[in-house]
Amino acid sequence: MTTATAQTAVSSPKRIVTTAGVGAWLSRPLASYHLVVTITILLSAFGLIMVLSASAPEAVAEGKDPYSMFWQQLGYMALGAVLFSLALRVSPRMLRSLAFPGIVLAVVALALVLVPGVGVKHLGARRWFEIAGVSVQPSEAAKLGLAIWGAHVLATRRRETAALRDYMVPLVPVATGMCVLIVLEPNLSTAVSVALIVAALLWYSGLSFKVFAAVAVVGTVSAALLAVSASYRAARVFTFFGKSADPSGSDYQPRQARLSLAAGGPFGEGLGQSRQKYQYVPNAHNDFIFAIIGEELGLIGCLLVLALFGALAYVGLRIAQRSLDPFLRLYSASATTLLIGQMLINVGYVTGLLPVTGVQLPLVSAGGSSTAVTLLMLGILANAARHEPDAISALRAARPGRVSRFLRLPLPEPVRPYQAKLLRGQGSRARVPSPERGRGAQERPTGSAKARPVQAANPSRRARTRRWDSPPMGEAERPRQPRRPMAQRPPEGRRPAPPLRRPRSSGR
């Protein structure tokens, strides 16, 4: 068998490379990190090219420089690259410490943008701040703040016997308040994105399927009621279900988008050769840029974009599965779900499978705040990839690479075993599982005010003086029980020898 296997390997080296080469590369310690960085660069570069192609005719029609939108998008990409590199330098501990201030600032910004004179109103919506001539959309930053804060809260309260209240409060009330403020702008598409984050956090934190299904039904019904509450949104919904026959009305955008996709065929008209972008497809560089991709690059170009997002979904869930830190696990899963959900919604309404909602295609559609926040979100995801157990060992054992030395990235710290914080709730009989079960640790109820963190038997002074809310010490840092000095320990089976006495002087 060994000789036959060797002969097969020699006779068909290409098959060995194709089957085992990819698996061997994916088994490398930093494969997830390299995948996130590579996918981010490819999507950003592809988005810049398509924004230049789709925005030039509209800019010329308005009397502007045909490269104006390209340079503007390039500036936002540069800002996002800086945020991406900064996210690689932030430790998970620091990120969790910024979670609560971040969500407070996000809610305050969402409330201030609704104030006349503070928020800028454009096309009937008050969604932006005008800062030094640059429009900033706080709802985009609020999505990232909710993902970080929600992951922090659920990771802190994660227990084997967690009650429903521990999952829902305060995550769902805060997210509901944010959705109300966002809908008042109005901006239903961002509210849908917030709902995606909450759904991902609840699902990956271990909420039961029945409760999750009930929450999903309530959210879907609420979204449907909000969709028909405004006349322009109701027109889009009725158009989707075939209630509108006016080709120049609410059905104009989806119809022109489908014509663009049909004109592209399998190979496309060629890069920059689209005819529908000449004021036939509204927002060709933004909401409907996927239609221009289909017309210029054809079915092959569309499949390549979908393949990149599919790879992003794979690596994001891979990071979430491999991470030992529950905070990084929940954040990676929720951020990946948000980006992939936005992609599916955008492609869905461009192809006519969903009503038009205005959700952008991440990193491909033109946008300032959305591009910068998306790159920051991916930077934190890449940082989570560097905190995989194998990646930590590899980075600490080998010399840093050129990129790490250029960016001066700090070495990731080993992930400590997780232990949930003790709740201060009155009357709660929940129990906190200890990572040291089977080594003298016990489970204690947390209902009384005298509850103490679970410690091993006979802890040392260092272990007793740790704060109740501090993370537990790892195996390597756990202090050992102090041993008695050698002079105080008698040999086994013998009586302790009397101490040596100093001989008396003879007086001479």
Query: Helices 369-386 and 326-350 meet at what angle, rounded to 10?
Result: 140
Beta partners for 355? none
Please say whether the beta carbons of 377 and 335 come within 8 A. yes
Q: How far apart are CA 484 and CA 75, in angstroms?
A: 66
CB 443 within 8 A of CB 434: yes
Strand 120-122 and strand 125-131: pairing?
Answer: antiparallel
Tell me how far apart the alpha carbons of residues 33 and 381 are, in angstroms, rounded to a whole number: 8
Residue 178: closest CA among 165, 164, 168, 193: 193
| Residue 136: its H or E element | strand 134-136
Residue 500, helix vs strand vs coil: coil
442 strand-pairing partners: none
Which residues fall within 8 angstroms of residue 468, CB to CB, at 6 or more apart?
421, 422, 452, 453
Its pTM stands at 0.77
Q: Copy the structure tokens of residue 459.
A: 């802890």
User: Is the bond preceding 417 in cis, omega lying within 30 degrees of 0?
Assistant: no
Cα 300 from Cα 307, distance rounded (Å): 10
Query: What does residue 186 show for φ and ψ, rounded to 5 degrees?
Result: -95, 150
Per-residue pLDDT of the chain (508 residues; tens, 9 = 90+): 444 444 444 444 444 445 567 888 888 888 999 999 999 999 999 999 999 999 988 888 888 888 999 999 999 999 999 999 999 999 999 999 999 999 999 999 999 999 888 888 877 788 888 888 788 899 999 999 999 999 999 988 765 456 777 778 889 999 999 999 999 888 888 999 999 999 999 999 888 888 889 988 998 888 888 887 777 777 777 777 775 556 666 678 888 888 999 998 899 999 988 888 887 888 888 889 999 999 999 999 999 999 999 999 999 999 999 998 999 999 999 999 999 999 999 999 999 888 888 889 999 999 889 999 999 999 999 999 999 998 888 888 888 777 788 888 888 888 764 443 433 333 333 333 333 333 334 344 444 444 444 444 444 444 443 333 444 444 444 455 555 555 555 555 555 556 555 656 555 4
Q: Which of 76, 35, 72, 54 is nearest to 363 (CA)?
A: 76
CB 161 within 8 A of CB 154: no
Q: What is the 3-state secondary structure (H, E, C) of 206-271?
A: CCCHHHHHHHHHHHHHHHHHHHCCCHHHHHHHHHHCCCCCCCCCCCHHHHHHHHHHHHHCCCCCCC
Rounded to 5°, the CA angle 98-181-94 comes to 5
Structural tokens at position 495: 């009586």
- Can you tell me the distance from the alpha carbon of 360 to that of 356, in angstroms, rounded to the nearest whole number? 11
